[in-house]
Structures are given as C-alpha cells and as structure tokens.
Amino acid sequence: MKNKHVGLLIIGIALLIGAIVFLFNNALTTIVNTSCSHGTTCPMYGTIQIQTYISLALIAIIVVIGITLIFSKEEKQIVVKRIKEKSEINEQKLKDKENNLKLLDADEKKIYQSIIDAQGIIFQSDVVDKTGFDKVKVTRILDRLEGRQLIERRRRGMTNVVLLKN
C-alpha cells in the first residue's frame, strides 16, 4: 500500500479508538456517579481523568504517525535512483573491460582466450600446458591481467586457480 493510504488508515483507526474511549469514559462516569457516595471528591473521578488524558495522548501520537505517513515521500523513488546508479556503474565496468581487452597484446589474448575456453576457470599449470609458454612468462602475463581486473587468482594447494572476473 502507498504511504498515503496507510496514513489515512492509521488516522481512521485513531478516530475509532477515540470513539471507543469516549463511550468508555461516559459509561465509567455513569457508573461512578451511581456507585460513589462522596460526590466529586471521590477518588474514582481522578482516576477517570488520568485515564482520559493518557488515552487522548496515545490517540494524538497515532494521529501524528498517520499524518507523517500521509506527507512522507514513497520509498520507491529512492530505490529507482539506486538501481540507476548500479546500472551506470556496471556499464562503466563493461566499457573498461572492453577497453582493457583491446589493449592486450597477442600473448595476453592467447592466455585470456584459453581461460575463456575453459569456461572461466582453469589451473595455472593447465594454462602453461595449453599455451606452450613457460611458467615464468605465464605468471607475468597473469600478473598483468590481474592488474587490469580481468582475472583473479586463488591459491589451491600447490597451484593457483585462475578465474575470469565479472
């Protein structure tokens, strides 16, 4: 439901509670008038007043909450802005990734393609086997690719697993 509708509903409930309190106070006053022989000095009269003030204060608080909801902005507008910001960031990351791919030299492209061919996850030792490059060259190229945020290496035992970054 929209904030305005919820606010109106809460104010309606507050009015209903006010009517119940009014009826209750009238009935209680009638009972005190018939049962108390002391007149207005009876301690029950003071109790009725305290209960009336407390109930009116609670009703006022509920009405203020309802009015606040009626005039508050909806959360949906804020969420839309956040989604737009995230999509702009993702577009920028995609452009950066495309620019990085254009800047790769032939050896880097060969290693990057071998990672793609392995569905985005491959052992570093398998990269050495597939490309035919020596271990040192593969490590240095993977360092450059990792610096460009294209891949990620994770240590697994005595070797590394190479992952494509999203």
- Indicate the domain borders of the chain: 3-72, 104-164
Spatial distance between the Cα atoms of 116 and 73, rounded to a whole number of angstroms = 47
- Phi/psi class of residue 160: alpha, beta or left (left: φ > 0; alpha: ψ in -120 to 50)? beta
Q: Where are the beta strands (DSSP E) in 10-71?
A: none
> pTM, whole model, 2 decimals?
0.44
Spatial distance between the Cα atoms of 68 and 65, rounded to a whole number of angstroms = 5
Q: How many residues appear in the chain?
A: 166
Residue 41: band (very low, low, confident or very high) from pLDDT cuts 50, 70, 90: confident
* Residue 140, pLDDT score: 95
Q: Which of 46-50, 58-62, 130-134 has the lowest mean pLDDT?
A: 46-50
CATH class given for the domain over 104-164: mainly alpha
